[in-house]
Structure 1
Amino acid sequence: MRIFNKEINNVTLIIIGAIIVIVLLVSSVFLGVLPGSKSQKAPPATLEFWGLFDDSSVWQPIFDEYRKTYSGTFFKYTQMEPATYEQKLIEALASGESPDIIMFHSSWLPKHGNKVSPLPETAMTLRDFQETFPDVATIDFVSNGKIYALPVWTDVLSMFYNKDLFNAAGIAEPPKTWEDFIEVVQKLTGKDKSGNLIKSGAAIGAADNVDNAADILSLLMLQTGTKMISDYGMEAVFDDAIMVGGVNYKPGESALRFYTDFANPKSSAYVWNDKLTNSFDAFASGQAAVVFDYAVNIPRLRQKAPNLRLGVASIPQLSGGSKTVNYADFWGYSVPAASKNSVSAWEFIIFLTSADKNRYFANTVSRPAARRDILNEQKSLPELGVFAESVLSATNWYQTDPAAIENIFKDMINAVVLGNIKPANAISAAAARVSSLMRK
């Protein structure tokens, strides 16, 4: 048998060596070893993680699984109080005592975007983000092509109703349009001979005793086609008129009037007033048949009213509306710019958004998932299915200071309900105040 000569052997060895190098380089990219890969090896670190709503028992299995791959990563998890979280976070960042992973609200990018670091572009492309998560995540967490937070779960305003009260009133299904809603809640409302409310068909119309009042009003404005802010983002325009069929029409004013009519004793829609107890408590006790709330509050409701037969339905839409509009309010996870462990922190957040982890987390805490594929799986679930479907058509709007704007919207509602101010004047004053905030 003839043996190749030395020259041929050298050429062969060079070719084989080149092939091996190429294979190793390609493998390195796919394994996330080199820059430009989807994931980079996380250096050893102890990650300080500030969370909300969920205790460490929810997170520990995720931490344990992550450490199977990244044994040098440890976690210090703190469950914060929602009421004081934002202020404590601001104070921690100012003092140089920054956590490594934080919960970042869907409305925070205008106000706090400069306090967090964007996701490294090598970790996830904008296209991948948009294909993975609902459209509202792009609205809330992306600016100038950079991703500032990743959602692990989502949430959307929905209609909670008391099944027993609906059955007793002979109402077979929840209303799908606002026109039907008015008719249904009148059947569920009880009044004495003087017209005083004994039982409410729905907690809607006021501000101070209606949870999520500003969100409900924002939703109505968006459903009516209201443009909330100017194109350049420096002025509120939700009081502006638009041309419809050759006639000037103010959709924002119309939405405000529609909302406040539910708390107007002179209106045929009257079902609520400012003297009643808080909407959440009224619903839990059976004094209100309907409230508008988020999935994150279902556990609290079940704890307060374990015997309540809860029904969940999508928010009513406008009759003949050209598209379905829902309202999202949720949290993502981000990394403060001051974190000393940003690479490891982002690596863990990306890990959370994988399909199996997203499925575990969403199902464990009973909230709508963040990924489109897992949302599709949840559509068949009795309660979460409503949220999973609705979040795909959900939106919200750019708010420079969410807490301040919520108060402005409440003041606008109160001006109409309690101050006898015309909706046109109330909304004009509110828009001026929001514009002033935006120019600061």
Structure 2
Amino acid sequence: MVRIIMKLKSKIQLTFIISILLFTIVGCRCTLLPSAEEKQKLQPISLRYWRVWDSPSNFSGILSAYSAVHPNISISMQILRYEEFERKLLEAYADQKPPDIISFHYAWLPKYVDKKYITPLPSKISMAFQYKQTTMGIKEETIIELKNTPIPTLTQLKNDFIETVSNDVVIDNKIYGLPLSLDTMVLYYNRDLLDKARIPVPPTNWEEFQTAVKKITALNEKGGIEIAGAALGSADNILRSPDILMLLMKQSGASIIQNGSVQFTSSKRAGYNPGLVALQFYTDFSNPQKEVYSWNNEMPDSLRAFADKKLAFYFGYSYDLPSIISFSRNTLNLGITKMPQLQQGEPEANIANYWVETVSSRSKHINEAWDFILFETSKKQVESYLTSAKKPTALRALVDTQLKDEKMNIFASQLLTSQSWYRGKDINAAEEIIKDMINNVNAGQDPAQSLNMAAQRIQQTIN
């Protein structure tokens, strides 16, 4: 009986030893014996990432999280000044050394697609994931697993992001970029100047806005503007003046650009010219003969005037806030409210302004570059970025969260009604044409003629 027990114990011990050996050999295969495909995907990769505006610290959490699952991939981020960005980018392409990942304005996409400088999101991306795993509490192993990265469909893109994104980043049914955030223009105001003019709340529509501007604007004995109600009417000293005018056109009912055609003047209402109505409304604010006269070409730039407390209303984006606080030395009694709209009952319209992340067609690691973009624009990672960068979201899933954020709720409240206005190949030229149109009207040219000439010139940037 004892001999039988001893034999049984020996068999159990032998089985246990064999199991441990098998466990060691098989279990370690993930680390020591990767497949040929795994070996290829585990090769060290360096990705270069060019951006403007942001600080690298806004991405520290994202980069760390990505490195944890892809330790073989290193990403070096370079922040360039806006004034030099496109010049240096084009020089890099000319030298055959562009960055792998690029962040640029959504309106640049058609131009860069046309030049074949960027590549769309691939239909399939396979990546090697690495993570630690402890088995049976005995041994920690590095597990290597090949996974296909989920690729969003066009329907998913539309469901996940603010409406304008799918309209802007999809070209020939391919996705060419994804945003981390999306900005909307709001109305900044000086609470002290409104209080002085006995205006208890900021305007919500343009009729109230005109009334407020007339109450606030103060002229000296020579007719010079001492305190400006609004920075409207001119072109070159008003930041984002083309956006303001295009928003007025949208609210007036103009399609602006539809199916590749400039539509400033078309309307469903017979005899109504929405572009002309918007242009005349805008330029009235720089016409000394009008009651709403409050601005002219002699004024400083609009942001500086607002920060210096010489301007009551300033139209700007969330990215303007740090400059306003800095220039005013944080002494401005600042308020932020939604953009004025037409009278109640009319559909709300707002302007969108944002940048997208895309991949160079010259990159040697297109799949890995796009995999990182998909990772950084996912909900969890975007939350990290938005919290650090203090920007409005481009993801629908985060709108409600930002509506509860005191510093973001005004911007977030406009996201679902915001649209971009330009879809062509040269946004910079189009904006200069709009400024020319404004200046021509202020110089005495017939507004209808100026509008038609501008539409023809902008059409040339689209064809």
After TM superposition, is the score higher than 0.5? yes
One-letter code of the match for 2:293? Y
Change (3 A) 1:336 1:178: same
Say which SS state the counterpart of residue 54 (structure 2) adopts: coil
Distance in 1 between the 2:160 and 2:267 partners?
A: 35
Shift of residue 194, structure 1, vs aligned partner: 4.1
Q: What is residue 367 of structure 1 aligned with on the other side?
A: 391
Q: Distance in 2 between matches of 1:365 and 1:230?
A: 33
Q: Please name the residue that 1:269 is paired with.
A: 292
SS at match of 2:237: coil
* Correspondence for 1:237: 263
Shift in Å, 1:226: 1.0
The answer to whether the 8 A contact 1:358-1:370 is kept is: no
- Identical pairs, percent: 35
Letter aligned with residue 433 of structure 2: I
After superposition, the Cα gap between the structure-2 partners of 1:434 and 1:304, relative to the gap in structure 1 and judged at 3 Å, is same
Instruction: Report SS of the residue matched to 2:155.
Output: helix
Tell me what 1:85 maps to. Answer: 85
Matches within 5 A, 1:348-363: 348-363=372-387
Of the three residues 401, 418, 439, the one matched with 1:377 is 401
Task: State the Cα deviation string for residues 283-341 of structure 1 (Å, max 9, x = none).
Answer: 01001011111111211222222222321111111114531110001111111111111
1:43 CA drift (Å): 6.1
Residue aligning to 2:439: 414
Structure 2: which 5+ runs fail to align? Answer: 1-40, 125-150
Question: Deviation string for 1:233-271 (max 9, x for gaps)?
Answer: 1x4231x34352xx4111101110000001111111111
For residue 123 of structure 2, the aligned residue among 121, 124, 130 is 121
Sort the Cα spacing of 1:424 and 1:321 in 2 relative to 1 into closer, same or farther, 3 A.
farther
Task: Supply the AA of the counterpart residue of 2:425.
Answer: T
Distance 1:391 1:42, change over 3 A: farther
Q: Which moved more, 1:288-297 or 1:107-116?
A: 107-116
How far is 1:75 from its partner?
A: 1.5
In structure 1, what is the Cα distance between the partners aligned to 2:383 and 2:455? Answer: 41
Partner SS state of residue 416, structure 1: helix
- What is the TM-score with the length of structure 2 in the denominator? 0.82
Instruction: Determine the C-alpha separation between the residues in 2 that align with 1:405 and 1:269.
Output: 28
Partners of 1:177 and 1:361 in 2: CA distance: 33
The one-letter amino acid of 2:404's match is S
Q: Tell me which residue corresponds to 2:332.
A: 308
Map Cα deviations across residues 53-99 of structure 1 (whole Å, 9 max, x no partner): 12222222321221111111112111011112122112212321010
Give the number of the structure whose alpha-carbon radius of gyration is greater: 2
More strand by share: 2
Q: 1:108 is matched with which residue?
A: 108
Deviations 1:130-182 (A, max 9, x none): 11110011121112221111111110111111122222322222111111110
- Looking at structure 1, the residues matched to 413 and 276 of structure 2 have their Cα atoms a distance apart, in angstroms, of 29
Residue 282 (structure 1) aligned to one of 290, 297, 305? 305
In the alignment, is residue 167 of structure 1 matched against residue 195 of structure 2? Answer: yes
Pick from 416, 420, 433 the counterpart of residue 392 of structure 1: 416
Tell me: CA distance 1:168–1:318, structure 2 relative to 1, closer, same or farther (3 Å): same
Residue 249 of structure 1: aligned partner: 272
The TM-score, its normalising length taken from structure 1, stands at 0.86
> Secondary structure in 1 aligned to 2:85?
helix
Question: Does structure 2 retain, via aligned residues, the 8 Å contact 1:134–1:391?
Answer: yes
Q: Distance in 1 between matches of 2:283 and 2:66?
A: 50
Aligned alpha-carbon RMSD (Å): 1.8
Checking the alignment, whether the CA contact within 8 Å between 2:99 and 2:363 is kept in structure 1 is: yes
Q: Which amino acid aligns with 1:415?
A: N
**Does 1:151 find its partner at 2:179?**
yes
- Which amino acid letter does the alignment assign opposite residue 391 of structure 1? L
CA distance in 1, matches of 2:188, 2:327: 15
Task: Give, as a single letter, the amino acid of the residue that structure 2 aligns with 1:258.
Answer: F
Distance 1:63 1:57 in 2: 10
DSSP 3-state at the match of 1:150: coil
Cross-structure match for 2:248: 220
Name the count of aligned residue pairs.
395
